[in-house]
Structure 1
Amino acid sequence: MKKIKQVKSYIILVLLFLFTNVVIAQEKKISPTSQELYNEIEASDTIIFNAFNTQNFVLFKSMFTEDLEWFQDNGGLLSYETVFKNFENMFKNENKLSRKLVKGSLEVHPIKDYGAIEIGIHEFRHIENGKEEIGTFKFVMIWKKINNQWKISRVISYDH
């Protein structure tokens, strides 16, 4: 009986050891975000949404890659052509939609040999039926650095 308890204790110790090693091996092994990368993405976000807010369609469109994929929870996967046809029509609207990044929500993470992930929450405002409407939504943007210029290649817009 004593030997059975010892074997059980030994098995438990081995399992704990193995479990601990698995947990340690699963620690994050990603590069930390540098302040420089954070600042570059924050500045690029400001540029693109200043263009959006002032309805500067040419500048806005130039900040996306032509292989853009835009995933929207309530609209599905949208192509580059569809996205910009929608924005072009939106910019012609009278309701003057504007976007503001929610303070403190911005996260930036590097993507090795590609660019960066931007995660955040933004607020959109517009006038509808004479009343200001405000919506707060979450987003993920994949930025690609091409010839020293940041462009968005993927967008995930959700929580609408």
Structure 2
Amino acid sequence: MTKIKTTILLLVVFLLATTISNSQNQNNTNKELQAIISYHDSIFWKGFNSCNLNILKKYVSDDLEFYHDKNGLTKGAEAFLKISEKNLCSSKNNWKLRREAVQSSIKIYPINNYGGIISGNHLFYITENNKPECLDGVAKFTHIWQLKDGLWKMTRVLSYNHKAPPQNTDKKEISLTYELLDSLIGKYLASNKETITITRKKSMLQIKAGKMLATAYPQSESLFFSKERPLTFEFIKNSSGKVTKMVVREKGNIVEEAVKK
């Protein structure tokens, strides 16, 4: 092998080794960053769930911007802490909110010379009037963390795409004939004298009561359920097979018995 070829080969080997080393260092750095941000983010939300304002104050920057798709923009640490104290930590509340991240959805990305981003999905649970805790909503989140003067603080918080949690997930939808579905449609008189209107939309029923519009999926020939609310709708027939009323249940409890007109 000539001297020139040997020199070129050594240069290639050196560059390859340097690239691999830099890649490994970068991966290690990213893993460290992910662990750091994940740790501080989890501590912040532990403070949120326990209404520990000292923890929240420690972790939010003075120029915090909190974007919420339902409540709008909250600017500044002071405003955020006041809202948290009033809505989450007040002894006057008969309910408690708990936020939980969906661990499998979490992604963390570095921001050069700043900090990092953590994003994913989170769940909100509510405990009300000493009743068992229940899932109240789901949403997406994005938090921007900054490392400044040796301290990690959240500068931007986004909580968006809030939705009601899926309901009646234990129930299985079946197919019914249009003829059977059509026998259930019509107008029903509620106990408050309000008219409930039921129409068919393909293989489902749509139930309209005032401003409420619910889609009902068949579980049996007489029982339907909502996927958006903890509601079921049971159609009662008389001895001749004619529908006489609809019984509406919420979380298993009867909330309405509407008579068919």
- For the aligned pair, the TM-score class normalised by the smaller chain equals 0.7 to 0.9
| 1:84 and 2:77 aligned | no
| 1:73 and 2:65 aligned | no
Is the 8 Å Cα contact of residues 109 and 118 (structure 2) preserved in structure 1? yes
2:215 is matched with none
2:43 is matched with 47
- How far the C-alpha of 1:128 sits from its partner, in A, is 3.4
- How far the C-alpha of 1:134 sits from its partner, in A, is 2.4
- How far the C-alpha of 1:97 sits from its partner, in A, is 1.1
1:111 is matched with 111
For structure 2, the 5+ residue unaligned runs are: 1-25, 163-261
Report Cα offsets for 1:101-137 as digits up to 9, x if no partner: 1121111111111110111111111123646342111
Q: Based on CA coordinates, which of the two structures has the bigger radius of gyration?
A: 2
Work out the number of aligned pairs and report it: 130
| 1:62 and 2:64 aligned | no
Q: Tell me the distance in 2 between the aligned counterparts of 1:103 and 1:156.
A: 17
Q: Tell me the distance in 1 between the aligned counterparts of 2:60 and 2:137.
A: 24
Is the 8 Å Cα contact of residues 124 and 134 (structure 1) preserved in structure 2? yes
Q: Tell me the distance in 1 between the aligned counterparts of 2:120 and 2:82.
A: 25
* Amino acid in structure 1 at the alignment position of 2:53: F
Of stretches 32-41 and 117-126 in structure 1, the one that deviates more from structure 2 is 32-41
Please list every run of at least 4 consecutive aligned residues from structure 1 whose deviation after the TM superposition is greater than 4 angstroms: none
Instruction: Give the root-mean-square deviation of aligned CA atoms.
Output: 1.8
**Structure 2 counterpart of 1:151, from 135, 150, 153:** 153
Q: Tell me the distance in 2 between the aligned counterparts of 1:102 and 1:87.
A: 22
- How far the C-alpha of 1:72 sits from its partner, in A, is 1.1
Looking at both structures, which has the greater relative contact order when contacts are Cα pairs under 8 Å and sequence separation is at least 6?
A: 1
For 1:44, what is the secondary structure of its paired residue? helix
> TM-score scaled to structure 1, two decimals?
0.74
Of stretches 86-95 and 111-120 in structure 1, the one that deviates more from structure 2 is 86-95
Is the 8 Å Cα contact of residues 127 and 133 (structure 1) preserved in structure 2? no
Higher share of residues assigned helix = 1
- How far the C-alpha of 1:51 sits from its partner, in A, is 1.1
For 1:159, what is the secondary structure of its paired residue? strand
Is the 8 Å Cα contact of residues 72 and 156 (structure 1) preserved in structure 2? yes
Identity among equivalent pairs (%):
36
Q: Tell me the distance in 2 between the aligned counterparts of 1:78 and 1:53.
A: 19
> TM-score scaled to structure 2, two decimals?
0.47
Higher share of residues assigned strand = 2
- How far the C-alpha of 1:148 sits from its partner, in A, is 2.2
1:94 is matched with 94
For structure 1, the 5+ residue unaligned runs are: 1-30
Q: Tell me the distance in 1 between the aligned counterparts of 2:99 and 2:66.
A: 17
